[in-house]
Amino acid sequence: MGFVTLARDEPDQLPASLADRAYAAIQDQLIMLDIPPMSAIDDAALSASLGVGRTPVREALKRLETDRLVVSYPRRGTFATAVDITDLAYISEIRVQLEPLAARRAADSAAGPVRTRLAELADDLQDTDARALDRDTLMKWDLRVHRAIYRAAGNPHLEDTLVRYNNLATRIFCLFLDRMPHFDQHVEEHVGLLRAIAGGKAKTAERLAREHVTGFEKAVRAVI
């Protein structure tokens, strides 16, 4: 079985080493709950399914522990972390500050080719019937848009932080998606945000990003 990872919008984002490739592949499985929360991680099985040795997988799992996606216990092994709804408030508290910052920075400073790609992404999303998508495709759209915006902000430290917390938020999204009647609207909100950034409308982008994060938290809490 080969690697199945989320599409990257920049060529230099492609994983380079075996450990990087294993990290990206396992991360996707954890985010999408293909590896269920609290389940044991079998590094030998992952190694076989990904077609790499156990050493890259173990290196990847160490990084994923830092990301709070797995946890290791002495003499017990490594497990996927639980999806704890009490973390939603903590995650949202961080994202509501940093997501608008990233959107504003991207609108202010993104280069012309980056703006073009964001506008094209908005066009693609607008032409997509979100309600017709399966869960995995919908979630990967959501992740793709957020990661493109973070990268466009041009601050690698901000990007790394937001990727980490958006990954955790996406696990919560996946857990409650089936109960959310208007989940497609959450994804479709990205169109206006992407167009604001592409058009250099910093204040609008900042506002839309903040509303997007607060709206997500409200939508989840409404179905708990």
Q: Please, which residues bridge with residue 96 across strands?
A: none
Q: How far apart are CA 40 and CA 52, in angstroms?
A: 19
State which H helix or E strand residue 30 sits in: helix 18-31
State which H helix or E strand residue 213 sits in. Answer: helix 202-223
Res 16: pLDDT? 63
Average pLDDT over residues 128-135: 82
213 pLDDT more than 70: yes
User: Does the global pTM surpass 0.85?
Assistant: yes
Each residue's pLDDT tens digit, 49-65: 999 999 999 999 999 99
Percentage, residues of the chain above pLDDT 90: 72
Give the pLDDT confidence of 137-176 residue by residue, as tens digits.
Answer: 888 889 999 999 999 999 999 999 999 999 999 999 999 8
Q: How confident is the model at residue 42 (pLDDT cuts 50, 70, 90)?
A: very high
**pLDDT at residue 128 in the model:** 86
Q: How far is CA 174 from CA 7, 35, 157, 220, in A?
A: 18, 12, 26, 10
Run of H or E including 155 = none
